[in-house]
């Protein structure tokens, strides 16, 4: 399917919508999930326009994995959860709701992840405080 230039993450990449950023480089961006499944829930996206991992170039896939690895280490250190769950959905049929490739980085366990979570917007002040913790951990990796 053709990439939708008006999806919410494309708008964040163009600066048309805000995000609580924790990291950015030439090829990737990481920011707080606005409806966190748990404190510290972070998203990592490529700048290349791609809906799923199946659509992206090998070079951009390598860049987004590299950033995800680094963000996972920082989230683990900052949030001190039981571990870090990474997941990434490909296609609406799999449950993907934003059609721009993203990795979820969540400091939790699979058992906890399976519990129902309120799909409500996180408190912006808490999201910002967690972003600061993650940025601090990133700078001390
Ligand atoms: P998925 O269901 O894998 O497509 O996940 C999309 C994620 O994007 C969900 O966890 C949403 O909470 C999150 N999300 C949606 N809009 C925004 C936004 N404007 N800023 C940050 N995260 C968002």
Mean pLDDT of all residues in 60-84: 97
- Would you give the distance in Å from CA 122 to the centre of its chain? 15
Separation of CA 64 and ligand 1 centre (Å): 17
Asked if residue 111 is part of any domain, the answer here is yes
CATH of the domain at 83: 3.30.428.10
Catalytic residues, which ones? 102
- Give burial (CB, 10 Å; 0-12/13-18/19+) of 74: buried
Half-sphere exposure of 127 (CA within 13 A, CB side): 20
Mean pLDDT of all residues in 57-64: 98
Half-sphere exposure of 52 (CA within 13 A, CB side): 12
Separation of CA 98 and ligand 1 centre (Å): 6
Asked if residue 2 is part of any domain, the answer here is no
Candidate of 9, 98, 102, 119 to mutate for ligand 1, largest count of ligand atoms within 8 Å of Cβ: 98
Domain residue limits at 86: 8-140
How far is residue 32's CA from residue 113's CA, in Å, rounded to a whole number?
A: 17
Domain count across the chain:
1
Separation of CA 72 and ligand 1 centre (Å): 17
Residue 7: is its pLDDT beyond 80? yes
Tokens for 85, please give them: 């769950």
């Amino acid at each position: 399917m053709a990439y939708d230039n008006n999806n919410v993450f494309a708008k964040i990449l163009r600066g048309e919508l805000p995000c609580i950023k924790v990291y950015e480089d030439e090829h990737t961006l990481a920011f707080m999930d606005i409806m966190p499944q748990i404190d510290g829930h972070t998203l990592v996206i490529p700048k290349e326009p791609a809906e799923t991992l199946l659509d992206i170039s090998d070079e951009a896939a390598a860049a987004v994995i590299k950033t995800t690895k680094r963000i996972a280490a920082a989230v683990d250190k900052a949030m001190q959860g039981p571990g870090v769950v990474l997941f990434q959905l490909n296609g609406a049929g799999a449950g993907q709701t934003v059609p721009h490739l993203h990795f979820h980085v969540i400091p939790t366990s699979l058992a906890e992840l399976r519990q129902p979570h309120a799909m409500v917007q996180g408190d912006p002040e808490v999201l910002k405080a967690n972003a600061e913790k993650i940025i601090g951990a990133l700078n001390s990796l």
